[in-house]
């Protein structure tokens, strides 16, 4: 690692780039099996939760308005919710504020309960969406099968 010798590396920095892309990048669409996708996402979340620089990573993705994957252990919707919470708390996250990433990082470290809360809100919605898709697939399969049966 070059640069600042005091800089702490993230947990993900030790993983091969291909694995990083599958877990946090847009490459996770290559994994066709939904169960495997869920395992990758939950493993990524666990690694993020263990990471010493989770707050920095999360703050950078929020400030940069990253629109893909699960960064810092939470998805895009949860990051948007967290940004709204921080702004409602009075944080100036405008582009004209050069200290916005540092300020947001400190706020995230000071409010771990809000990170958990937005993650739960997001995963609850995600769970409902997933169950709805599964129910639709089941009903569609039943309709197709009943249409094939001779009467």
> Taken in order 56, 60, 61, 65, is the CA torsion positive or negative?
positive
pLDDT tens track for 47-85: 888 999 999 999 999 999 988 777 888 888 899 999 999
Cα–Cα distances in Å, from 109 out to 28, 58, 86, 115?
Answer: 28, 10, 12, 9
**Which residue intervals of 1-151 are DSSP H helices?**
17-24, 34-50, 54-63, 76-88, 100-110, 112-148
Which pLDDT does position 72 carry in this prediction?
87
Q: How many CB atoms lie within 10 A of CB 142?
A: 10
In this structure, of 42-46, 97-101, 112-116, 147-151, the range with the lowest mean pLDDT score is: 147-151
- Higher-pLDDT residue of 102 and 131 is 102
HSE of 26 in the Cβ direction (CA atoms, 13 Å)?
Answer: 3
């Amino acid at each position: 690692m070059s640069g600042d010798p005091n800089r702490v590396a993230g947990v993900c920095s030790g993983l091969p780039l291909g694995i990083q892309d599958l877990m946090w990048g847009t490459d996770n669409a290559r994994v066709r099996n939904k169960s495997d996708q869920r395992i990758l996402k939950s493993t990524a979340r666990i690694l993020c939760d263990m990471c010493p620089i989770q707050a920095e990573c999360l703050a950078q993705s929020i400030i940069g308005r990253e629109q893909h994957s699960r960064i810092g252990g939470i998805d895009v919707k949860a990051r948007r919710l967290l940004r709204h919470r921080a702004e409602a708390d009075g944080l100036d996250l405008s582009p004209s504020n050069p200290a916005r990433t540092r300020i947001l990082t400190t706020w995230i470290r000071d409010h771990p309960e809000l990170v958990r809360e937005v993650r739960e809100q997001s995963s609850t919605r995600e769970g409902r969406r997933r169950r709805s898709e599964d129910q639709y697939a089941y009903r569609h399969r039943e309709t197709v099968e009943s249409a094939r049966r001779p009467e």
